[in-house]
Structure 1
């Protein structure tokens, strides 16, 4: 019986087959039309006829694209691939409000680089959706008997006629509203990246071209004059790069829960209130955080081909090491220094640090810091610790049981299956654990206070959406990203000895702490150069948060 069913094929003419496929792809673009109509409703360009005809224009574009491949040996594989990609990208839109651009695709590939990382998104719901709306239509294509014109010239004329009809339909539905289309698309650039599956296809193409086929030219050396100021005392500084922590869930920004119970009473701890990230994904933020250029001026495609903060500090005389507990790695910013990727040693660490396929608990970094400081003494040292922090969607995997203070918490990667309370509980538990790690690093530094001026900086790469307005995770285009994805925590702790030797006015630093006007990742490089007593022409006093607080201006 099953074999009889499988042997039965649907018979369609090639142009009707294209029409059915195009109609299906248009229907699954519901998120695009929903956002397009929302924008029209909130503007002066609201037009009922435009809303009515816009699906027709997309249908015509889909049909034209398939008509280009309307040959006996090309149409089925192309249509099958398009239908599968439509179902896959539709799930990403429905579940995560994903937008497919070069930057967001780069962010996903680099934020979740391993197979285990990507497995976090494989749930019963995701598999079911993709099977029904992606794989099933793709398979049905191969059980369709497509009828073709038997005469070559007649078939060619039919294809030309079909292509012409598609173009005519597109023009009829777009031309009367061309000014509105152009204005809307220019003002809302992400709209183009919501049209599936084409946004996924062309976004991936752009990502591959910019990542693997771009000619960056010779390496550009910056900060060649970097040097320590005279009489700089031996300094030990730890730069902790947080992952996916959002400032909205920190008590110093008014959050009702205490997610910083371990550091909120630390003396000489500075919590900056209004800090903006460079990007909404690690692949964007890390290069920008370490760049000698500002967010406005940086070109992320070439940022890795010029000197950054690490190069300047190395030139000035700091010995640096990078310890990474995040499979995201350092996005190239640390490639000219010693790198220890702790995830690569997962088998050795599994028993103590509860490592799983996604990574290890961040307490591993604290012990690695202790070992590094014992083994390799140096006059001036800076250690970079890249935390796995609050990396989602499996927040509950980031935290030992004893730090899971809030419950019930979400225990699945399919966040839409959890209540927002459960998601927030799981997320807040990661912040408490991260705060514990920061406090433990501070204790390690305390043990070296007799030999070094010590200090640390903790700052997150970007924020996170926890279901607000149906949006989860991060990676939204920066210009439309919700505040929670770009408002990040930044915390300094400086020892008494460092404050005294740098002649910093603590009262002034408290004033800076209370400022509500914007600081950002742009301030990191220059603030650290100031604290670490590094002089260079690339230093910008206007971007140094604590520049007004040095009592000795030399």
Structure 2
């Protein structure tokens, strides 16, 4: 085993060496290949956003591959200074990961910034399987495996340290001179820096992956929020339902032409218009939903769920998704934990999260209970798999994860069916709350973010906030309450204003009659002073 590892590191896995390169020349050749093979989306973006007929635009377009090649050569050159044996394995790993990244860039128009890397870090096995398509294997074979096979035929011969050092220094000086000569390009590059940075491979996923990990995954302590008290002794149950990738534009409660919210409409809900998410990906949005203020830098206060549990509220978190922050709750359950003894199609979908919760509430001796359902909702790209077959209302549907190969109608049909199903799940939850005896009850439904369905050639979500379209930011925010102000009439009520994830924390506190120094009554959606 050790001998095999040594042969891999030395490039001697195959008995016959076809090409020999000194380290510096090998790095330059690989940097040129990397710039040519994996950056078509970057160059096409430049062509689309530049007047390529002008000399200045042509210089800007040429600057893009120069920067890609230079960055690659300098970085691998620095690796070679540490050990020449690391160069080939690094290039082989780069080829495979670049091929996968390029597939997602081409297929979904993703930008691999730190927010998109958050999606990658928090994608579970089922979500990853839903993204698979045989075309990914084509990319991996021709742009990953084949380059690796070629690299195995190459022997990288020893190069003296001073020559290895000279290469990145020379490339760096050349790049500085080019940058000076092409200074007119920098205003355009700066304008699109976020988008360009997310398309340069491997630096987009490597650097942004580290950035996300350092800011979100690395261990950290959460600060405790100030003590709280209750101004009401009312027995209370609150349901918080967190949707996934549900955009307000496709909700009939928000004016969509199709009837996608029949159940919530007849339940007598209150719809809050102009609600926006704080992010375009799940992990950051969940932080906001559970935070007492918009956590721009995410100061790492304890989340709402832990805060309530610490003050005697019985908290249950049930999830058919991923990306939840660390929390201290009474019950944390995944859909798979609830399927034991469950029979029927519904067990595998979001409605399975409701199973047994009514009995648990009835058996509880707690005065205040919060139940959170984190839905799979409208998570793409396999929208047609997110709902039971009986909810195939709009047809035909897109049945491929290669969304650009579906017609717009097929894609929207599949997506709208997920919204119809989510509406059903929320309606079932409201019916359950109506049937509870001895409790005052409330429900909040909010989506984590929206979704792109091909607008501007973008799909899914996670586009950097600064360039993300409105459909990834505008979300449904809907409440129901057992009090007469919300439920006597079966007509939907609409509240105009400006709302966001920041309302959720304070509305849950308000529903429980909970007060502390962090409570902001102006953000409480259940406030009796709020116009209806």
Partner of 2:114: 102
Superposed CA deviations along residues 343-387 of structure 1, whole A, max 9, x for unmatched, are: 2454644x32466xxxx2122122232232233243222211121
Check conservation: 1:289, 1:525, Cα contact below 8 A.
yes
Partner of 2:223: 220
Superposed CA deviations along residues 56-104 of structure 1, whole A, max 9, x for unmatched, are: 2322222222333446523321222222222222112111222223332
Greater shift, 309-318 or 532-541, is seen at: 309-318
Q: Distance in 1 between matches of 2:338 and 2:234?
A: 35
Q: How does 1:115-514 map to 2 (within 5 A)?
A: 115-146=125-156, 148=157, 155-178=160-183, 180-181=185-186, 184-185=189-190, 188-211=193-216, 213-214=218-219, 216-217=220-221, 219-224=222-227, 226-230=228-232, 232-267=233-268, 269-294=269-294, 297-300=295-298, 302-303=299-300, 306-314=301-309, 317-326=312-321, 328=322, 330-332=324-326, 334-346=327-339, 348-349=341-342, 351-353=343-345, 360-448=348-436, 450-497=437-484, 510=493, 513-514=494-495
Q: Distance in 2 between matches of 1:329 and 1:19?
A: 40
Q: Is 1:89 the counterpart of 2:101 in the alignment?
A: yes
Q: Distance in 1 between matches of 2:234 and 2:360?
A: 20
Q: Distance in 1 between matches of 2:397 and 2:212?
A: 36
Q: Distance in 2 between matches of 1:120 and 1:406?
A: 21
Change (3 A) 1:469 1:298: closer
Q: Where do 5+ consecutive residues of structure 2 fail to align?
A: 1-13
Partner of 2:19: 11
Superposed CA deviations along residues 137-167 of structure 1, whole A, max 9, x for unmatched, are: 1221112244x47xx6xx4454344334312
Superposed CA deviations along residues 289-338 of structure 1, whole A, max 9, x for unmatched, are: 111121xx4433x52xx233224434554322112222x05322x43432
Q: Distance in 1 between matches of 2:482 and 2:395?
A: 36
Check conservation: 1:56, 1:169, Cα contact below 8 A.
no
State the secondary structure of the residue aligned to 1:475. coil
Normalising by structure 1, we get a TM-score of 0.84
Deviation for aligned residue 1:9: 5.0
Q: Is 1:59 the counterpart of 2:69 in the alignment?
A: yes
Change (3 A) 1:41 1:310: farther
Superposed CA deviations along residues 404-462 of structure 1, whole A, max 9, x for unmatched, are: 101111223232332222221111111111111111111111112x4221221111111
State the secondary structure of the residue aligned to 1:389. coil
Change (3 A) 1:34 1:9: same
Q: Distance in 1 between matches of 2:457 and 2:238?
A: 40
Greater shift, 362-371 or 155-164, is seen at: 155-164
State the secondary structure of the residue aligned to 2:264. coil
Change (3 A) 1:478 1:525: same
Normalising by structure 2, we get a TM-score of 0.87
State the secondary structure of the residue aligned to 1:58. helix
Deviation for aligned residue 1:39: 5.3
Check conservation: 1:465, 1:473, Cα contact below 8 A.
yes
Q: Distance in 1 between matches of 2:324 and 2:19?
A: 54
State the secondary structure of the residue aligned to 1:189. helix
State the secondary structure of the residue aligned to 1:479. coil
Q: Distance in 1 between matches of 2:242 and 2:454?
A: 24
State the secondary structure of the residue aligned to 1:73. helix
Check conservation: 2:280, 2:462, Cα contact below 8 A.
yes
Check conservation: 2:21, 2:154, Cα contact below 8 A.
no
Check conservation: 1:455, 1:493, Cα contact below 8 A.
yes
Q: Is 1:530 the counterpart of 2:510 in the alignment?
A: yes
Deviation for aligned residue 1:130: 1.8
Change (3 A) 1:348 1:9: farther
Q: Distance in 2 between matches of 1:299 and 1:207?
A: 12
Q: Where do 5+ consecutive residues of structure 1 fail to align?
A: 1-5
Q: Distance in 2 between matches of 1:348 and 1:331?
A: 29
Q: CA RMSD in A?
A: 3.1
